[in-house]
């Protein structure tokens, strides 16, 4: 029999602040979106839109991914997190960086188009935070000594995150002190897709390849599918970037997208194999969010193909960004929070009490009825928003954004409810009740 060690989860202080802060940024984002809702029908480059996009991808999504990532790295790498201190520092830098960077974008129009110095500093802090995340990932995965494809995805995605942050920092510098001769908008597209396909997509694939079999109690031995996905996606992104930096990607972007799409198809086949070999348990509402996220990813890709082939005006690009950020990645974050956070908090409160008496289950640490309500708020918000953006209906967008605020507040209440949990324990007297 082979003996294994069980890595202990990191301290709650290295993980929980990310969840709480992400929820706050999500609420702030939804309120600001309603306040500046005309941005979603304008369809052009705007500093307020940049502020909101960075608040969404860094403050809401990257923040929550960092928290979940520090918790899940020991599970994926089968060893303890290298440094909890680095995790805490990365949280402080990321939080400060996001506030400075987003507020920098927000006030730029008031400063007659001059991007403030504190915005650049904010970008720098986000970049340093991403480097700390990469360091923790590299030192925890120790990928050189024991390789697996899930680790490769996580590590590669974190490197892409740092590359994206560095590119963003250089672009922010260029806003204040112009030094790049190439079109800023063209480079912004490269920066955005480095983040979407390099960071978010690969992180999601890596984590899902480990967690979905865990949650569904399914399995797949078809690791080759994941390796193929890894190769196709990374080759696609690298070619896209090299071409974009040295030439112009416009005509060949479809080829690079086809490579990334092929990678996604391989990943889908892997997930299908896991799904087919699972315990056929009912799918709860938290996993329904993951399913919806996948549907939204497919719609996002379809829209991207349309944009590349058809080359329409800016409105479809706003739709594309909305679908990717608020549809694909946000749906996943909204559901996965309740597959991770209650377990983290439960471990902190009940690990040592387990077996001593009656204790609540992790799923009893959050308001399940509120998650079900959050699901309907979110459906109304997302599809109302997409319809409003597509048809340029300002009223529909505003109604949808009210639903988005309802989604973010119900989500925030539940996160707070979990974080505020008080230990509840009823001591049991020993009784043997075998049901054999």
Q: Does residue 146 interact with other proteins by CB under 8 A? A: no
Among 118, 275, 343, 383, binds other proteins (CB under 8 A): 343
What 221-226 contacts at long range (C-beta under 8 Å, 24+ apart), as own/partner pairs, is 222/269, 222/270, 222/273, 223/149, 225/266, 225/267, 225/269, 225/270, 225/273, 226/149, 226/150, 226/153, 226/266, 226/267, 226/270
Residue 57 C-beta: closest distance to other proteins, Å:
27
Which residues have CB under 8 Å from 373's CB, separation 6+?
Answer: 410
- Give the torsion sign (CA, 427, 433, 435, 436): positive
Q: Does residue 280 interact with other proteins by CB under 8 A? A: yes
Q: Does residue 7 interact with other proteins by CB under 8 A? A: yes
Among positions 210-239, residues that touch other proteins (CB under 8 A) are: 214, 217
In angstroms, the Cα distances linking 179 to 173, 182, 183, 246 are 9, 9, 11, 16
- Confirm if 338 and 366 have CB atoms less than 8 A apart: yes
Among 145, 221, 395, 435, binds other proteins (CB under 8 A): 435
Nearer to other proteins, 178 or 282 (CB): 282
User: On the CB side of 221, how many CA atoms lie within 13 Å of its CA?
Assistant: 0
Among 309, 351, 423, 425, binds other proteins (CB under 8 A): 351
Q: Does residue 6 interact with other proteins by CB under 8 A? A: yes
Among positions 47-86, residues that touch other proteins (CB under 8 A) are: 71-72, 74-75, 77-79
Which residues have CB under 8 Å from 221's CB, separation 6+?
Answer: none
Question: Given phi > 0 = left and psi -120 to 50 = alpha, else beta, which region is 61?
Answer: alpha
- Confirm if 68 and 157 have CB atoms less than 8 A apart: no
Residue 70 C-beta: closest distance to other proteins, Å:
12
- Say how far apart CA 244 and CA 151 lie, in whole Å: 28
Nearer to other proteins, 217 or 298 (CB): 217
Q: Does residue 185 interact with other proteins by CB under 8 A? A: no
Q: Does residue 294 interact with other proteins by CB under 8 A? A: no
Size of the site for other proteins (CB under 8 A): 42
**What is the greatest pairwise CA distance in the chain?**
77
Nearer to other proteins, 44 or 425 (CB): 425
- Per-residue binder mask for other proteins (CB under 8 A), 86-125, x = binder: ----------------------------------------
- Say how far apart CA 269 and CA 260 lie, in whole Å: 14
Nearer to other proteins, 3 or 311 (CB): 3
Residue 399 C-beta: closest distance to other proteins, Å:
38
CA triple 333-205-232, angle to 5 deg: 140
Nearer to other proteins, 171 or 283 (CB): 283
Nearer to other proteins, 181 or 433 (CB): 433
- Per-residue binder mask for other proteins (CB under 8 A), 352-381, x = binder: xxxxx----xx-------------------
Residue 132 C-beta: closest distance to other proteins, Å:
22
Among 4, 144, 313, 426, binds other proteins (CB under 8 A): 4
Residue 357 φ then ψ, to 5°? 180, -160
Nearer to other proteins, 2 or 313 (CB): 2
Nearer to other proteins, 242 or 428 (CB): 428
Residue 92 C-beta: closest distance to other proteins, Å:
25
Residue 289 C-beta: closest distance to other proteins, Å:
17
Q: Does residue 426 interact with other proteins by CB under 8 A? A: no
The Cβ of residue 87 has, within 10 Å, a number of other Cβ atoms equal to: 26
- Confirm if 384 and 312 have CB atoms less than 8 A apart: no
Q: Does residue 279 interact with other proteins by CB under 8 A? A: yes
User: According to DSSP H, which parts of 247-284 are helical?
Assistant: 253-276
Q: Which stretch binds other proteins (CB under 8 A): 108-116, 285-293, 326-334, 351-359?
A: 351-359
Residue 147 C-beta: closest distance to other proteins, Å:
16
Q: Does residue 144 interact with other proteins by CB under 8 A? A: no
Nearer to other proteins, 83 or 340 (CB): 340
Helix (H, G, I), strand (E, B) or coil at 427: strand
Nearer to other proteins, 112 or 352 (CB): 352
- Confirm if 101 and 126 have CB atoms less than 8 A apart: yes
- Give the torsion sign (CA, 400, 402, 404, 407): negative
Residues found near other proteins in the complex (CB under 8 A): 1-9, 71-72, 74-75, 77-79, 214, 217, 279-282, 343-344, 346-347, 350-356, 361-362, 428, 430, 432-436
């Amino acid at each position: 029999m082979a003996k294994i060690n069980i890595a202990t989860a990191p301290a709650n202080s290295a993980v929980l602040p990310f969840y709480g802060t992400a929820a706050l940024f999500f609420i702030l984002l939804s309120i600001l979106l309603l306040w500046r809702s005309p941005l979603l029908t304008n369809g052009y480059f705007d500093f307020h839109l940049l502020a909101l996009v960075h608040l969404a991808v860094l403050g809401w999504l990257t923040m929550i991914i960092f928290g979940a990532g520090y918790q899940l790295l020991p599970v994926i790498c089968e060893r303890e997190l290298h440094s909890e201190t680095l995790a805490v520092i990365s949280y402080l830098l990321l939080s400060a960086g996001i506030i400075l960077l987003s507020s920098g974008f927000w006030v730029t129009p008031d400063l007659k188009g001059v991007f403030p110095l504190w915005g650049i500093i904010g970008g720098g802090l986000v970049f340093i935070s991403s480097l700390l995340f990469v360091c923790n990932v590299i030192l925890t995965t120790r990928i050189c000594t024991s390789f697996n494809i899930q680790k490769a995805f996580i590590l590669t995605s974190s490197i892409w995150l740092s590359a994206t942050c560095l590119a963003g920092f250089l672009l922010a510098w260029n806003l204040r002190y112009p030094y790049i001769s190439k079109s800023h908008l063209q480079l912004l597209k490269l920066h955005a897709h480095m983040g979407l396909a390099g960071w978010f997509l690969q992180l999601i694939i890596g984590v899902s390849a480990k967690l979905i079999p865990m949650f569904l109690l399914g399995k797949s031995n078809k690791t080759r599918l994941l390796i193929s996905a890894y190769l196709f996606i990374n080759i696609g992104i690298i070619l896209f970037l090299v071409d974009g930096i040295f030439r112009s990607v416009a005509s060949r972007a479809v080829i690079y997208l086809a490579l990334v799409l092929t990678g996604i198809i391989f990943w889908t086949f892997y997930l299908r194999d896991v799904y087919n070999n699972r315990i056929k348990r009912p799918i709860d509402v938290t996993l329904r969010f993951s399913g919806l996220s996948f549907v939204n990813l497919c719609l996002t890709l379809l829209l991207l193909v349309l944009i590349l082939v058809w080359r329409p005006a800016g409105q479809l690009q706003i739709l594309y960004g909305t679908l990717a950020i608020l549809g694909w990645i946000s749906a996943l974050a909204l559901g996965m929070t309740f597959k991770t956070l209650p377990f983290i908090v439960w471990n902190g409160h009940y690990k040592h009490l387990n077996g001593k008496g009656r204790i609540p289950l992790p799923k009893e640490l959050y308001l399940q009825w509120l998650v079900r309500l959050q699901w309907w708020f979110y459906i109304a918000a997302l599809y109302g928003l997409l319809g409003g953006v597509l048809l340029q209906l300002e009223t529909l967008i505003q109604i949808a954004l009210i639903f988005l605020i309802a989604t973010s507040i119900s989500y925030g209440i539940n996160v707070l409810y979990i974080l505020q949990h008080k230990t509840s324990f009823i001591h049991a007297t020993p009784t043997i009740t075998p049901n054999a």
